[in-house]
Amino acid sequence: MPTIVTMPKWGLTMTSGTITGWSREEGDPVTEGVPLLTVETEKAVDDVEAPASGVLRKIVAAVGSEVPVMGAVAVITAPGEDLSDEDVQALVATTSEATAAASGAAPRVAREGRQAARDASGRVNASPAARKRAGELGIDLATVEATGPGGRITSEDVERAAVEVAASAAAPRTEVFELADGTKIAALLAGPADATETIVFLHGLGGSQSTWASVLGHFAETYRVAAVDLPGHGASDKPSPASTDYSISGIAAKLGEFLEKLELAPSILIGHSLGGATALQLALDRPKLVRALVLVDSAALGLEINDELLDRIESAPSRDEARRLLELFFEDRRFVLERGINDMHAARNALGADDAVKAIAASAFTRRGQNLVLVDRLGELEVPLLVIWGELDRVIPSRHAVAAVTALPTAWLEIMEGVGHVPQVEAAPAFAEIVNRWLLSIPGP
């Protein structure tokens, strides 16, 4: 059976990719899992592996062409399989039709939309069915383009407008919220507008919301998601340590204020490493803002912290340091990519970032271990708790996870085998499934 190689979707915001190179030519044998081509997106360049072994029968998209996500780029035939040019074309055509269909179907009777007609009193010309649908869907008729005869808005026009509103609300976008002290907090928001629950994602020390890129899409189908850049990180403000409280409780207070601004509380909090400690602190300080808590390789659940992390953070933020940091984080070295090193290096060198990260680290950790250990207070939690840990985490040992669920026996524990400090990147699909399954098992809001 032939296999169609398609443009992958890396992260929530990717809509297309440009092909920068093919490592095989038509007619060459290919092996499943071996890089076949390189693709450049807005943010990164990466390899796409062959999805099957066989022969590279046809390259559909040449170097330099931009292909939408899920669009066909090549066809691989099984060893010994014979496929005519017509069959190749037909295969590719079905893929492009499917891609086009997924991007929105046209109305049956194609007619240009235009501004709806109004009578002398300003009443919009809309059919009875359109008025009823507009009421049901909460659509303002004044904003709807008319395709009906005489500039009349039809029920289909209203439905189309509702889809557009939902799509624009659901489209991933970065928004900035200003806190009372003037600190601006950036967050990537996505998910259906009519979703009833929100998940807030909190990254670790020196990271950014991009750490969740591989899993956000899974959750954004059902939930509203907000991946936050903590103060001193990513696109959020990085005030001087002299003027701001960079302790975990200080960051938790800012996060609480952010959640109130977002008007989406109580939210499900998923925190990684230092973000986990922040989430836990907030759940203890402001229980009304939190509906459920997921701690991933989290700080504040035990004393130990690898000195090497502190060495890296305390060093000047060079490119080599960035590489060593990633090597410490990931068990699987394939995740230590040039792109990741470049991102980390750039992030550490952003104005104010290094001072902020060093200040946070100094407040949270010393060579004797973590300053904040909340494991004895887990019993105070009023919300369900899930603890996820990479079995081979070299930054914070997985026995902290065991200590946490020992202290709070109602908590759920998942140890992910063979994974290091960042399971949401190293084992993204399994991570998403664990969280999704757990979210379905806990009581509703």
Partner 1 sequence: MVTETATRTMTYQQAINEALQIAMREDPTVVLLGEDIAGGAMVDHLVNDDAWGGPMGVTKGLVQEFGRDRVLDTPITEAGFIGAAVGAAATGLRPVAELMFVDFFGCCMDQIFDQGAKLRYMFGGKAKCPVTIRTQIGAGVSAAGQHSGCHYSVFAHMPGIKCIVPSTPADAKGLLLSAIRDDDLVMFFENKVLYGTKGDVPEGDEGIPLGVADIKRVGDDVTIVAISRMVQQALAAADTLAAEGIEAEVIDPRTLSPLDEETILSSVAKTHRLLVVDEDNPRCSAATDIAAMVADKGFDTLDAPIKRVTAPHTPVPFSPPLEQFYVPSPDRIVDAVREIV
Binding site for partner 1 (CB under 8 A): 108-110, 127-132, 148-149, 152, 154-156
CB of 146 to partner 1, least distance (A): 11
Q: Supply the minimum distance, in Å, between the C-beta of residue 134 and partner 1.
A: 11
Q: Tell me the C-alpha distance between 414 and 429, whole Å.
A: 14
Residue 95 buriedness (CB in 10 A; 0-12 / 13-18 / 19+): middle
- In this structure, what DSSP letter does residue 310 have? H
Does residue 56 contact residue 76 with C-beta atoms inside 8 Å? yes
Tokens representing 102 are 């997924």
**Would you say 149 or 409 has its CB closer to partner 1?**
149
The distance of closest approach from Cβ of residue 133 to partner 1 in the complex, given in angstroms and rounded to an integer, is: 9
Helix crossing, 155-170 with 128-137: angle to 10°?
A: 20
Shortest distance (Å) from residue 159 CB to partner 1: 11
Nearer CB in complex with partner 1: 157/343? 157
Q: Judge contact between 224 and 265, C-beta under 8 A.
A: no
How far apart are alpha carbons 168 and 223 in whole angstroms? 15
CB atoms within 10 A of CB 425: 22
Q: Which is nearer to partner 1, 130 or 336 (CB)?
A: 130
Distance in Å, CB of 162 to partner 1, minimum: 15
Q: Which is nearer to partner 1, 125 or 342 (CB)?
A: 125
Say how far apart CA 384 and CA 26 lie, in whole Å: 54
Q: Which is nearer to partner 1, 134 or 251 (CB)?
A: 134
Q: Which is nearer to partner 1, 144 or 248 (CB)?
A: 144
In the complex with partner 1, the residue whose CB is nearer, 1 or 110, is 110
Phi, psi angles (nearest 5°) of residue 270: -120, 115
Least distance from C-beta 152 to partner 1, angstroms? 7
Can you tell me the distance from the alpha carbon of 59 to that of 49, in angstroms, rounded to the nearest whole number?
Answer: 14
Q: Give the nearer residue to partner 1 in terms of CB position, either 130 or 270.
A: 130
User: For 207-223, what is the HEC assignment?
Assistant: CCHHHHHHHHHHHHCCC
Question: Token pair of 57, please?
Answer: 């029968």
| Minimum CB distance to partner 1 smaller for 128 or for 445 | 128
- As a whole number of angstroms, the distance between CA 438 and CA 435 comes to 5
Shortest separation between residue 144's beta carbon and partner 1, angstroms: 13
CB of 120 to partner 1, least distance (A): 20
Residue written as tokens 């017509």? Answer: 86
Q: Please state the closest distance from residue 62 (CB atom) to partner 1, in A.
A: 36
Bin 431: left if φ > 0, else alpha if -120 < ψ < 50, else beta: alpha
- Amino acid letter, residue 302: G
Running DSSP on this structure, what letter comes out for residue 116? P
Nearer to partner 1, 40 or 145 (CB): 145
Q: Shortest gap between Cβ of 167 and partner 1 (angstroms)?
A: 23
Q: Both tokens of residue 52?
A: 């099957």
Q: Please tell me whether residue 435 adopts helix, strand or coil conformation.
A: helix
Q: How far apart are CA 241 and CA 355, in angstroms?
A: 7
